[in-house]
Amino acid sequence: MNINTYFPKKITDSFIVQQLALFTARFSFNSNHRIFIVLLMAIISIGIVWLIHSATQTVTETAAGKKIAQSPLTVEVATFTQHDWDIEALLSPLNKVTFEPHQGNFINLGSRDFLWLTVTLPPNPREISLNTSLEISLKTSTEKSPKQTQILVLKKNRIYTPVELHYLTLNEGWAKEVVQGSPQFHQNIVIRLPNEILANTFYLKLHGRYLRTSLYLFDDKAFFDDLQQTSLVSGLFYGMLLLFSLYHLMLYLRLKEPSYLAYSVMLLLLGSWFLSGQGWIEYFLPNATYLKNMTVIIGGLLIVSIGEFAKHYLQISTLSRRIYKVLVLAQLLLLLLLVARLSLQSLLPASIKQLSYGLGLSTCFIIFIACFSAAIIGVKKQKNAAGYYLTATILFFVMATIMGLSAGNIIDFHFSWPLLQMTSAIEIIIFSAGLVSIYYQQQQNEMAVEIELQQAQQKLVKQLEISNQLKDKVLNNVVDHKLFPELAKVTAFLPDIIYVQALGNDSLVVYKKNHRKSKIELACNLQNLLESFGDEYLIRIHKSYLVNPLQVMSLQRRTSADYDLQLGKETVPVGRKYLNEAKKLV
């Protein structure tokens, strides 16, 4: 059935449904093709994300639209030492600590507790702008002017440790500043470099295992431009999350489908996780101390919601009861660990905390594997929604693997919050496309049911008209009343008759029932049927055959003078006397 030929009024208000209907009518893809296309789009999306990441490593645009060139600022990393020396001991010739040149601005402590860096500024101020390698904007001046203040920014992950700034001054010798992350700047370290730094060189001491940070250097204008740009990107991302969440919540209220509600909750938790991870919650709610350091808790709830969404979206209970039970148990265990972390965190020793953290990660991995396995089963069973879910899950797995390898300092990849937002946006679009396909399929099913109901209603009305006409003919003595019981047998399927064959004084009626051929014998002859139902449903084409003129048929020559009517898979002979009538039917 062509889905463009009929749209019930209750669904024509959906622009998405109409566009999908037009697309489906123009292009017909089977399930394998659709899944292949979605997977291809995911691979292309990963390539786009990687290109964007590479582009941000080479070029950043300033507010004035000028390209920022690479800065001559250099970073050197101290060789690994287990001695927690102060700056003077570190630089003492007796300790023989060397500094090795470091490429780029990305620093990963890995399993080290601390790390010393030497940062050297360019010797002569000149107009320089730096992209992700190091961003500098220094104003050139040929006249004598005071040294321009510069701002050092360390954009880091959620490791709440301070940074020590050590620099040599002319009058006071070595000076030290300890700087904490600021909620105002998304928990990043922001240091306004003192003008008293000699030789344009200073030292940084980073703390915290698995701390990942990138160094950036700005003047005042470039700093606020970068802050504005970052806030704009985050605002667009959070606006997208809120819009998609409200949209799917409205779909749930309309359709009462749990997958839409689960997806809406998942998007809200995803937004909360980003808000906590980027420090926005602490910035907007500085007095809500109970909301600080909640990134792990919200992340755990997000994983639980991902599993809940998968249960409804993939209908895991119907795909595999075993996977469904494993998923439910893993969700309950993760919720139990989150409650224990909230209530007993201050009472448990560090070893127990690490054990529970590892158990939580393992549980998250089990949830992911259960959802992934269910998606594979769904794809094998040619469920379109499973193809979308599998695509988004593969993208999530790729990005999570890159993050894990980067966190372990196995690969040198700077996985920043903005890039994570981009990949999350791609996953949201893929999931939403799958939900739209489900919505579209539901609308198509409703439309098909409504069409069937209307056809059944029309058929009942027609049957009632035929029965009334037959009764009138019996009452008017046009038809023998003794034949009424036999004739009434065919009124229910009169439009579905293929042909009627004479069997002496009886008749054999061949008709379609549920797309299959059925037969019934009547104790009346062909003339009785013609007199009772007229030419609308039955026409004689042979002394022993009547056919239904409403069906598709073709005329085929059997001999030079004889013809047959082809009624689908059935063949009925045509009498020479009735050849003209048969030709009118074709």
The three-state secondary structure class of 86 is coil
List Cα–Cα distances, 487 to 56, 465, 531, in angstroms. Answer: 82, 14, 11
Domains of the chain: 74-218 (2.60.40.2380), 479-585 (2.40.50.1020)
Give the DSSP H or E segment for 138. none
Predicted pLDDT at 63: 35
pLDDT tens per residue across span 277-325: 877 777 777 776 666 678 888 989 999 999 999 999 999 999 999 999 9
Predicted local distance difference test score (pLDDT) of residue 370: 93
* pLDDT score of 14: 41
**Residues 367, 308: Cα–Cα separation, whole Å:** 10
Torsion angles phi and psi, residue 103, rounded to 5 = -85, 130
Helix and strand numbers (H, E) in the chain are 15, 18
Instruction: Return the structure tokens found at 306.
Output: 């991902």
Looking at residue 8, what DSSP letter applies? -
- pLDDT by 10-residue block (mean), the chain, 586 residues: 39 41 44 52 55 46 38 75 80 83 83 87 49 37 52 82 88 87 78 82 87 85 84 85 90 87 93 84 73 81 93 91 94 92 79 84 91 90 82 78 66 70 82 80 83 84 80 78 84 87 91 87 89 85 91 87 88 90 85
Place of tokens 């500098």: 136
Q: Name the pTM for this structure.
A: 0.63
Say what the pLDDT of residue 44 is: 60
β-strands 497-503, 554-557 pairing: unpaired
Quick one: which of 70, 196, 188 has its CA closest to 130?
Answer: 70
Q: Whose CA is closest to 248, among 471, 16, 91?
A: 16
Contact in structure between 341 and 356 (CB atoms under 8 Å): yes
What are the structure tokens assigned to 569, written together?
Answer: 């898979």
pLDDT at res. 404 = 65
How far is residue 344's CA from residue 494's CA, in Å, rounded to a whole number?
Answer: 76
Chain CA centroid to CA 304, Å: 17
- Cα separation, 510 vs 258, in Å, equals 47
Q: Which helix (H) or strand (E) holds 377?
A: helix 350-380
Helix, strand, coil share of the chain (percent; to 5): 55, 20, 30
**What single string gives the DSSP state of each residue in 439-486?**
HHHHHHHHHHHHHHHHHHHHHHHHHHHHHHHHHHHHHTTSS-GGGHHH
Closest alpha carbon to 49 in 387, 391, 421, 405: 421
For residue 294, what pLDDT is reported?
80
Amino acid at 234: S
Q: Residue 261, CB half-sphere, CA atoms under 13 Å: how many?
A: 8
Neighbour tally for 330: CB within 10 Å: 23
Amino acid at 125: P
Q: 560-571: per-residue pLDDT in tens?
A: 888 999 988 889
Pick from 291, 59, 277: nearest CA to 155: 277
d(CA 349, CA 346): 8
Angle (CA) 349 353 358, round 5°: 150
pLDDT score of 169: 85
